[in-house]
Amino acid sequence: MMSTKEVPGLNDRALVSVDEMLRCSAELGVKRGSVVGARILDAGNESLGGLHAGVLIAQMAMANLGKVSLLPNPDPTQLGPVVAVNVTHPVAACVICQHDGWLIEDEESDYKARGSGPFRAAYGKEELYDIFGFRERTGVAVGVIETNTTPPKQLVHQLSIMCSVEQHHLALICVNPSSLAGSVLTASRTVEWALMKLHSMNFNIKRIVSAYGVCPLGAVGGGMIRSVANAYDQLIYNSQVTLYATGDDETLASVITQLPSNTSSMFGQRSESLLSIDSSTAQTLDPALRSPAKICIQNIETGNMHVQNN
């Protein structure tokens, strides 16, 4: 079992980006606020939520264990940028932190949203923490909530209790998925999608020691569902991931054939027709579809490369 000793202070690492965003909120197009003492950064609801804010939020969601960049699209027919992700500790960065595995709910207000970021490690109730460890006792908790509204006071208070921190030591970044920042955040999930797909296949993802992913930025506007669907379509049909692995080649050769998104029976359909209109839209997709379009696994011990694409 892994422990936080390998990459200590996940929430403390993310706090660096929170402080930067607070200092540069006007330049980044984010709005500073507070709910029951917790720091709130709004990106895309009551503010623009710009591209650079999206880059910082995407890195924050990975506890700054990944580098996110906006690069020119290598396809000359596509003029928009691509979101590139370079990760050195992929399990900690993408599975333990970035994965939006926490469904945050408040029954009184009927509020629902997906939570990602290192505050998941402070909460530590998801099954992934039984498998990989990384539960964190920390003095600060940093979370990313994909939402079009600020969470209510009673929920923010409850989140601080669940993360075992004082309310003024909780920082929440509320990102509208239909904003530019939200589009960057979604496009940055290339490696995470690949790792979660591998994990669902009972592959030991601790063998993945580094990773790189690239995904075109989806078009925003037209409402939450359309924006999320555009971002998902880019992940499903146009993203590319390279995973750097150790161990035997036989297992890698076997799993690579099952990894790309075209292994799903839903492949070929547009995400907008598949998503339900609630806060947990991602969960309505076939899990097999939540995977990059093109994947390469390079064995850094043998030098062999295993490639599969749509």
Q: Is the pLDDT of residue 273 over 50?
A: yes
Of 186, 184, 207, nearest to 256 by C-alpha is 207
Q: Is the pLDDT of residue 88 over 80?
A: yes
Average pLDDT over residues 284-296: 90
At residue 78 the predicted structure's pLDDT band, cuts being 50, 70 and 90, is: confident
pLDDT of residue 284: 62
Tell me what the pLDDT averaged over the chain comes to. Answer: 93
pLDDT of residue 280: 47
Q: Which of 32-36, 163-167, 198-202, 225-229 has the lowest mean pLDDT?
A: 225-229
- For the sheet with 294-299, list strands across it: 66-72, 81-87, 208-216, 240-245, 294-299, 305-309
pLDDT of residue 275: 81
pLDDT of residue 11: 98
State if pTM tops 0.85: yes
Average pLDDT over residues 34-40: 98
Average pLDDT over residues 57-64: 98
Average pLDDT over residues 81-109: 96
At residue 76 the predicted structure's pLDDT band, cuts being 50, 70 and 90, is: confident
Separation of alpha carbons 193 and 40, rounded Å:
27
What are 113's two structure tokens?
A: 């949203």
Average pLDDT over residues 147-159: 97
Q: Is the pLDDT of residue 279 over 70?
A: no
pLDDT of residue 283: 52
At residue 286 the predicted structure's pLDDT band, cuts being 50, 70 and 90, is: confident
At residue 161 the predicted structure's pLDDT band, cuts being 50, 70 and 90, is: very high
Percent above pLDDT 90 for the chain: 86
Average pLDDT over residues 96-110: 95
Query: In this predicted model, what pLDDT tens digit does every residue of 233-246 receive, in sequence order?
Result: 999 999 999 999 99
Average pLDDT over residues 179-205: 98
Average pLDDT over residues 110-126: 96
Buried/exposed code over 217-230 (b: 16+ C-beta within 10 A; e: otherwise): bbebeeebbbbbbb
Q: Is the pLDDT of residue 170 over 50?
A: yes
In Å, what is the CA distance from 226 to each residue of 67, 231, 274?
A: 27, 9, 11
Domains of the chain: 10-309 (3.30.1030.10)
Cα–chain center distance at 38? 22
Q: What angle do CA 31, 34, 40 make, to 5 degrees?
A: 55
Average pLDDT over residues 207-225: 95
